[in-house]
Amino acid sequence: MKEMSRIKTVSLIVFLVVVWGISWPIYKIALNYTPPLLFAGMRTLFGGLLLAVLLFPNRDKIHWKDNWRIYVISAIFNVILFFSLQTVGLLYLPSGLFSVLVYLQPVLVGLLAWLWLGESMSLVKIIGLLLGFVGVVTVSSGGFSGHVAIIGLLLAILTGISWAIGTVFVKKVNSKVDSMWLTAYQFIIGGIFLTGLGSGVENYADIVWNGPYLSGLLFGSFLGVSASWIVYFTLVNNGDASKVASYTFIVPLIAVFSSTIFLHEAFTINLLFGLVFIAVSIYLVNRKPSFKKEAIEEAV
């Protein structure tokens, strides 16, 4: 595959982190006009179906009989748990704070990859994990003093954990499935489950079909699911996965600032210091040490 130009690569990375960053306040606003599970289910189902339509010419890569278990497991962690916990959690926590906690996911991936995939755990990574823990405690301290709902903090952390497990699982089975069809099917399966669950415990009559709700639904379906994942795998397939990982810490920064501007959410000193700790943590966990340093660190 022809290597992308530097300008195109940077443009796609910027698109990805901006879409993921501004999605948090957009979803927060939409949730004022819709039950959470129906909103999560409909946007993931529509996004998955759209992606499947785009991939239909390559349907010979599905191999459903061999891969259906992988599709289902991926859907459970990357869609059903991730999107349901995320959507419900946003009802209890400011979107900026919630996104900061969820984006501990790269740190958790580093830990799980060491335990599950046998990847190296260096001294630098250990320091990074500890800083990530400090960041969570710093950001969450307001919740223990009554400023935010503790249930929201727990849901945010569980959202990051489910996403981390799903990410490591996908990495483990990557050679067995087509990554694009895996993405499409996890959203279709997860979307069907969440929409069905929402249909049973929530009421469609509670949806207010206004501009903010439709904007959130369309943004989530077209950009939050389909377009962002197409961009992600375009970068991965061109050898830029490490760049995507190293830049994901920008997402909660964009989420925090956009939520402050559009939702007037408080930007506290605890949140600022927590952001710094978490950003440094994610960088240290995902950095690639030089050959000489790597040999020394892996000996720890």
Q: How many Å apart are CA 133 and CA 141, to the nearest integer?
A: 12
Q: How many Å apart are CA 74 and CA 269, to the nearest integer?
A: 37
Q: Is 66 exposed, middle or buried (0-12, 13-18, 19+ CB in 10 A)?
A: exposed
**To which residue do tokens 């910027």 refer?**
14
Tokens at residue 19, please?
A: 């879409």
Residue 103 lies in a domain: yes
Q: Tell me how many domains the chain contains.
A: 1
Q: Which residues contact 159 (CB under 8 A, 6 or more apart)?
A: 81, 82, 85, 86, 89, 98, 101, 102
Cα–Cα distances in angstroms (integers) from residue 23 to residues 149, 177, 193, 212, in the given order: 21, 28, 22, 13
Q: How many Å apart are CA 267 and CA 30, to the nearest integer?
A: 22
Decide if pLDDT at 126 tops 70: yes
Decide if pLDDT at 300 tops 70: no
Q: How many Å apart are CA 287 and CA 240, to the nearest integer?
A: 14
Residue 143 lies in a domain: yes
Q: How many Å apart are CA 142 and CA 268, to the nearest integer?
A: 9
In the predicted model, what is the mean pLDDT of the chain?
Answer: 84
What's the pTM? Answer: 0.81
- Note the pLDDT tens digit of each residue in 140-191: 666 555 567 889 889 999 999 998 899 888 888 888 999 889 999 999 999 9
Cα–Cα distances in angstroms (integers) from residue 141 to residues 79, 85, 103, 137, 273, in the given order: 29, 21, 17, 6, 11
**To which residue do tokens 């929409």 refer?**
195
pLDDT confidence band for 290 (50 / 70 / 90) = low
Residue 165 lies in a domain: yes
**The pLDDT of residue 165:** 93
pLDDT confidence band for 42 (50 / 70 / 90) = very high
In the predicted model, what is the mean pLDDT of residues 273-296?
70
Residue 1 lies in a domain: no
Cα–Cα distances in angstroms (integers) from residue 287 to residues 143, 214, 284, 290, in the given order: 31, 39, 5, 10
CB 248 within 8 A of CB 106: yes
**The pLDDT of residue 296:** 46
Q: Which domain holds residue 211?
A: 6-297
- Note the pLDDT tens digit of each residue in 56-112: 999 999 999 999 999 999 999 999 999 899 888 988 888 777 888 887 777 788 788
